[in-house]
Amino acid sequence: MAALLLVAAANQPQSEGDLGAIMERYLEAAPMQVAYSYAIGNSDFSDTTQGVLYLSAPSVFRLSFFDKVYGSDGASVYLHDTNTHQTVIDSLRWNEMQLWLRLLSGQLPEGTQLVGSRHAGRLSHFDLLGPDGKWEAELTVNEQSGAIARIAVVDRAGLSVVIDLETPRKWTPSVEYIRLSDLPGERLDLR
């Protein structure tokens, strides 16, 4: 029995270094496309959307999201509202609740703590605590593919965000340097 516990413990990812290596390996697969399902809710409401994330390089991505299109060229974040046809371009300020967007940069929000990890079948689960305990998250990784399979975040107010990510597929951009307007999806006029 003790030998089985030792083998199980050896197979569990235990450190922030392991999590960093997983994020790095995931981003090395770029350029890629990943289908996703995004669910948000609390005790009063819930909403779900599906879409495709296009990742050209770490921090360089585009995704459609409810009535908005998010994108980043690595230095700035673009938020385009499809209802008002307005685009906001801002310096790269990552919202802590958008943990999955932070994962696309390879950097967790400053002050994030890895508080636990466990192994279940072909999945590894990492439990994260946000800065000052503002949120808790579980990151699920498919060990076989190295792909992030799920990100679940709950903030202090009870707002829950669950993102299920399909296995990434290779994506070949049509040009070498990718601008936000070159990524697949609705063409955006960013003047």
What digits encode the pLDDT tens for the residues 98-130? 777 777 778 788 888 999 999 888 999 999 998
Quote the pLDDT of residue 1. Answer: 27
74-99 confidence digits (pLDDT tens)? 777 777 788 887 777 765 455 554 77
Chain centre to alpha carbon of residue 141: 12
Choice between 160 and 23, residue whose per-residue pLDDT is larger: 160
Measured CA to CA in angstroms, residue 110 lies from 52, 60, 96 at distances of: 27, 20, 9
Choice between 121 and 3, residue whose per-residue pLDDT is larger: 121
Q: Is the pLDDT of residue 174 over 90?
A: no
Nearest Cα residue to 109 out of 69, 60, 151: 151
What count of other Cβ atoms lies within 10 Å of the Cβ of residue 144? 9
Q: Give CA–CA dist 164/36, Å, rounded.
A: 6
pTM for this predicted structure: 0.77
10-49 confidence digits (pLDDT tens)? 334 445 667 888 888 888 888 999 999 999 999 999 999 8
Amino acid letter for position 75: A
What are the two backbone dihedrals, phi and then psi, of residue 122, each rounded to the nearest 5 degrees? -95, 10
